[in-house]
Amino acid sequence: MSALAPWIQRQLSHLLRQQGHAWLIQGPSGLGQYELGLALASAWLCERPTPQGACGQCQSCHAIAVRTHPDLCLLMPETYMLDLHWPLDEKAQKDIDDKKRKASREIRVDAARQMVSFSQTTRSGVQGKVVLIYPAERMNTITANTLLKTLEEPPGNTRFVLTSEAAHLLLPTVRSRCQTHTLQWPEPLDGQAWLTEAGLDSKEAIALLRASGGRPNDALRMTQTDGIQAKHWAAFPRSLQRGETGILSQLTPAQAVSLLQKLCHDLLALQVGAAPRFFERQDLPEGGTVRSLSAWSRSLAQEARTAEHPFNAGLMLESLFSQAQKALRRPR
C-alpha cells in the first residue's frame, strides 16, 4: 500500500484514536478525501493495525490492494469506480460493455440497496465490515434515504466512512448520523515536498500548487492526468486573449469551466486591487472590466451546472472560448 502524504497521515492517526461507527470526512477537492477515507477503512479492517493505520502486509490489506475484500463495500459513481480501478457488479459492467447505458455519474440507488444487503450478511473476518461512500454528495435523495436506517443502526459491527467535497449538499439526516472531520490544508512546503517526491521538479511543483489553489492532489492530477505543465499554465491567459485555445482544447467541459473560473477570479481580483491566487501577476493580461468579468463569472457558474453532461462537448467548448474572448476584450 502506497505511503500517505504527511498531512493525510497525521489526520488518519487522529481519527483512529476516536470512537464512532460513522465518520463524515469533508473539505474542498484535492486535499485527499478518498485517500484518507480508504486508509481509515483499511485500518479498521486490518488484522494487525497500528496507531498509524493498516499494516499493509496482512491478508486483509492485500485484499484491499487487489480490490477484492469481501468485508469492504464501496458506494461510488460508476465513473469513479472505473477511474479508480474498482470492479463493478457483473450486471452493471455487462450493461456498460454492451452499450445499453453509460457509466453513472451518481451513486445509484441499486448500489445502496446492495449495501443494505451487504451489511446484513455474515462478515468473513473478525474486524467487522466497512462501507466507504465517495463522494457522498453524489447520492440523490432516494439513494440517501435508502441507507439512512442502516447508517443510524448498522447491524453487527459495520462502520461507515463518508467523504465529501460538498457536504452542504448532503441531506441533514445523513449529516446528523455521522461524526464530522474537516480536512486540514497542508502547509505549502509539505505540499511542494510531496509533489517533488511524486516526480515534479521544485519549480513545477510550486507553480502547479499555486494553479490548484494549494491543493496537492489536484496539482498532481493536473500534470499526470490532464497533461498540464507549468509553462502551459503561465502562457494560457495571454494566449486566450490572442484567440488561441491553448490547453483549453485538451480539457473536458467541466475541466475547462474550472480553469476559466480561476482565470476570471484572478482578473476580477486585479480589478479591485487584490492579489491573484492561481496565476502570477505578470502572466495575466490587461483586459476586461469589472462589469464584463462579473458577467463572465455568472455565466461560468451557470455553465458549471451542466458541464459534466453537456448536450455536445465540442459546441460547449466553443461557447466557453467565445465567452472568454468577449470578457477579455480590452476596453476602448
Residue 72: predicted pLDDT: 96
Beta bridge partners of 179: 23
Residue 124: predicted pLDDT: 82
Site of grid cell 480539457: 251
Element (H, E) at 257: helix 253-271
Mean pLDDT of 156-169: 94
Is the pLDDT reported for residue 2 higher than 90?
no
Which of helix, strand or coil describes residue 32? coil
Is the pLDDT reported for residue 86 higher than 80?
yes
Mean pLDDT of 164-192: 94
Is the pLDDT reported for residue 332 higher than 80?
no
Question: Which of 50-54, 137-141, 225-229 is the least confident region?
Answer: 225-229
Mean pLDDT of 72-98: 94
Is the pLDDT reported for residue 1 higher than 70?
no
Residue 331: predicted pLDDT: 64
On the 0-12 / 13-18 / 19+ scale of CB atoms within 10 A, 69 is: buried
Residue 43: predicted pLDDT: 97
Name the pLDDT band for 192 (thresholds 50, 70, 90). very high
Which of helix, strand or coil describes residue 149? helix
Fold of 6-182: Rossmann fold (3.40.50)
Give the single-character DSSP code of 329: P
Residue 310: predicted pLDDT: 81
Question: Which is more confidently placed, 332 or 152?
Answer: 152
pLDDT averaged over every residue in the chain: 92
pLDDT digits (tens, 9 = 90+) for 259-275: 999 999 999 999 999 99
Is the torsion defined by CA of 273, 275, 278, 283 positive or negative? Answer: positive
Residue 101: predicted pLDDT: 92
Which of helix, strand or coil describes residue 44? helix
Question: Which is more confidently placed, 65 or 247?
Answer: 65
Residue 125: predicted pLDDT: 75
Residue 62: predicted pLDDT: 95
Residue 191: predicted pLDDT: 93
